[in-house]
Amino acid sequence: MIIEQPAFFLRWLYPHALWRMNPRERAVYLTFDDGPIPEVTPWVLDVLAQYDAKATFFMVGDNIRKHPDIFERVKAAGHRLGNHTYNHLSGHLHGISSYLRNVEKANEYLHTDLFRPPHGWMKWKQYHAIRRRYRVVMWDLVTRDYSTRLNGEEVLANVKRYARPGSIITFHDSLKSYEKIRYALPLSLEWLKNEGYAFKVF
């Protein structure tokens, strides 16, 4: 549970970040990290359209550079954009200056005020520097679709177990997640819709 739904002490690390939205509103906030990827992102867009769902895509700048047509398709579909650095940087491997330069390089494409750190972590000083310009968006539910230890059924089970009003739900439009979300994403959206949840963006 500490991974799927972060414990209080993890939320405490970044006190001004968005972890969960209004708990009194029956809505969830779908997010997708690591794209755009030609083998995955168009399929995700088609599934979202099928359920009339909007999402926020936290994109890697270099993937946008390589796949600008898919980036434009995400924008044209009316989804929200978020910054996920230019090279999917791990915060612990970089200082403040190089990390911020990489974030700003990605934002030359994205022009967004939303940021999510790759791997869900950054140094304390990086966080404080980032939040001067961006709203840092973390999560209330990580589906763990990236895990080699889980299958699609288990990813779906995580959604059903941990989704709640105001949840920020994290999927990945990445190659390592594709097999699992092909099963779990449509069924997750179907279940959430049947449970009366609206799909909202920030």
pLDDT at position 164 is: 98
Q: Are strands 198-199 and 27-33 parallel, antiparallel or unpaired?
A: parallel
Q: Are strands 198-199 and 135-136 parallel, antiparallel or unpaired?
A: unpaired
pLDDT at position 11 is: 86
Q: Which residues are catalytic?
A: 33, 172
Per-residue pLDDT 10s for the chain (202 aa) are: 567 988 787 788 999 999 999 999 999 999 999 999 999 999 999 999 999 999 999 999 999 999 999 999 999 999 999 999 999 999 888 999 999 999 999 999 999 999 999 999 999 999 999 999 999 999 999 999 999 999 999 999 999 999 999 999 999 999 999 999 999 999 999 999 999 999 999 9
Q: What are the structural domains, with CATH classification, of the chain? A: 17-199 (3.20.20.370)
pLDDT at position 171 is: 98
pLDDT at position 23 is: 98
pLDDT at position 8 is: 81
Which residue type occupies 31?
T
Cα(183)–Cα(40) distance, integer angstroms: 13
Q: Tell me if 50 sits within 8 A of 156, measured CB to CB.
A: no
pLDDT at position 99 is: 97
pLDDT at position 137 is: 98
- 3 state SS of 163: coil
Q: Which of 76, 132, 66 is nearest to 104 (CA)?
A: 132
